[in-house]
Amino acid sequence: MQLGVSRTPVSDAINRLADEGLVEIYPQTGTFVARLWLDKIETAQFVRVALETAAIRRTAERATPETIAGFRQNLERQRKAADKQDFEQFYELDEALHDLICDAAGLVGLREIASKERSQIDRVRRLLLHYETRMIETLAEHEAIISAIADKDPDKAAKTMEAHIAQMGKMLLHLRNKRPELFGS
């Protein structure tokens, strides 16, 4: 092989991607990037809302000044990435903020569970950041979420997180109308 990697780890990686619904394997034909399926994304959204609103409630109840400082540092880096229109850096910081919230909830393994559940919608999230003013809107939503945590208001934090996650669902329908070729029927 050109990359000096045997077939077994490549095959294992492709099978893991197929298990997560990110690629489709057609024997004797090929492996292709999976289309976006609204029903799978809706399920992932549902799980994400359940996990992340529960996590943020717990985080708001137990956040320390150090935790809040870490959130604010992430937000400042997001702001700089948005100013530069650096979509990749912004996306990575967005992921990191959600991971920080899961970590601050203090539940072992929660970050990994939430990250796995986000995999079905990560492609959509990346696409949507490029649309119109979504990066700036996302930053404002993140600022509201962190403000609610800093105020130690679990209800407001959960409502703000749920609204933030729901926004992607609304934009997804808009994307489906603009780019129907990306979606399965």
- pTM, full prediction: 0.80
CB 181 within 8 A of CB 127: no
Q: Where are the alpha helices (DSSP H) in the chain?
A: 7-19, 38-62, 65-83, 87-104, 110-129, 134-150, 154-178
Arithmetic mean of pLDDT, 113-118: 80
Residue 1 has pLDDT above 60, yes or no: no
pLDDT in the model for residue 2: 66
N residues, the chain? 185
* Dihedral angle computed from the Cα positions of residues 42, 48, 51 and 56, in that order, rounded to the nearest 10 degrees: -130
Do residues 34 and 23 touch, judged by C-beta distance below 8 A? Answer: yes
pLDDT, mean of residues 95-122: 87
Nearest partner of 87 among 125, 116, 35, 44, judged by Cα: 125
Domains of the chain in start order, with CATH, are 1-34 (1.10.10.10), 38-182 (1.20.120.530)
pLDDT value of position 132: 64
Q: pLDDT tens, 59-103? A: 999 999 999 999 999 999 999 999 999 999 999 999 999 999 999
Residue 35 has which token pair?
Answer: 């289309």
